[in-house]
Amino acid sequence: MRSSSASADTRPLIWLRAVAAIAVTTPLVLRTSAADVPETAAAAAMQRFLSRAAVTHEYRASRRLEASGHGLRAWLDVDTDFTRTSGLRYAVTAEGGSGYIRSRVLRSLLDEEQRLIARGDQASVALSTDNYEFTPERIGEDGLAVVGLAPRRKDRSLVAGQIFLTADGELVRLEGRLAKNPSFWTSRVDVVRSYRRIAGVPMPVSLETTAQLRLFGSSALRMTYRYSHVDEQPVDDSAAEISDRRR
């Protein structure tokens, strides 16, 4: 596994590694309780979301990772396999662009995701009342409940922003900004994490992040998923298509 240390040249891009924690954020929260809130449609969806039990789904999926920054671009295609006993494993099947970005950013992102899972750190980034304060806001034009998300601590692995839920409390999207900048080089990091029901369960389908870097302009990362199996059940090709959930 590659070292996470960085030379002076890699520091402007180290924010990309911070989003590895967002990549393992569970779409189902740890079962918890919420404070009493007014009975609105958004509040009801939030309460249903907060009452869901944490479920870790095993899967096999291909991913496409693309990153740009510091005047460079690169991409990786990888096959990933996650089980509760073995954790996350990945194999690169195709790649292109900057070798620097591929080795120092994209592979490092996957390695960091592996480490987080191996250490069992998912609870520290879960969408739970241990980590966040939730505030129901409104029902959007798309019919989704909008719920404010306020981190309980300044942590580069947590997001200040909003989550978007169906009426029955299923997570569709998370949008916001990292609660703490990963390094001096980064002035802000914005995140959009999308989910979709795959083989009957909600699974992450995309992660998009952009950052503003001191002296170096902007950087971006996009990661998309295509599932072949969830909980050992084959996924139909039509159900596995990734759709853009940004609204």
pLDDT digits (tens, 9 = 90+) for 131-152: 999 999 999 989 999 999 999 9
pTM: 0.82
**Domains of the chain: which residue ranges?**
11-227
Q: Give the span between the Cα atoms of 26 and 16, in whole angstroms.
A: 19
At 133, give phi and psi (nearest 5°): -100, 135
Q: Give yes or no for residue 3 having a pLDDT over 80.
A: no
Torsion, CA 221, CA 226, CA 231, CA 233, rounded to 10:
180
Q: Which residues contact 15 (CB under 8 A, 6 or more apart)?
A: 178, 181, 182, 183, 185, 186, 189, 209, 211, 213, 219
Q: pLDDT per residue over 166-184, tens digit each?
A: 999 999 999 999 887 666 5
| Cα distance from N-terminal residue to C-terminal residue, the chain | 38
Q: pLDDT per residue over 52-94, tens digit each?
A: 877 889 999 999 999 887 788 999 999 999 998 999 999 999 9
- pLDDT class of 196 with cuts at 50, 70, 90: very high
Residue 65's CB is within 10 A of a number of other CB atoms, namely: 24
Residue 131's CB is within 10 A of a number of other CB atoms, namely: 22
Q: Give yes or no for residue 17 having a pLDDT over 60.
A: no
Q: Give the span between the Cα atoms of 166 and 123, in whole angstroms.
A: 23
pLDDT of residue 23: 67
- Angle, CA 153 vertex, CA 149 and CA 157 arms, to 5°: 75
- pLDDT class of 186 with cuts at 50, 70, 90: low
Q: Give the span between the Cα atoms of 25 and 127, in whole angstroms.
A: 7
Q: Give yes or no for residue 245 having a pLDDT over 50.
A: no
- pLDDT class of 11 with cuts at 50, 70, 90: low
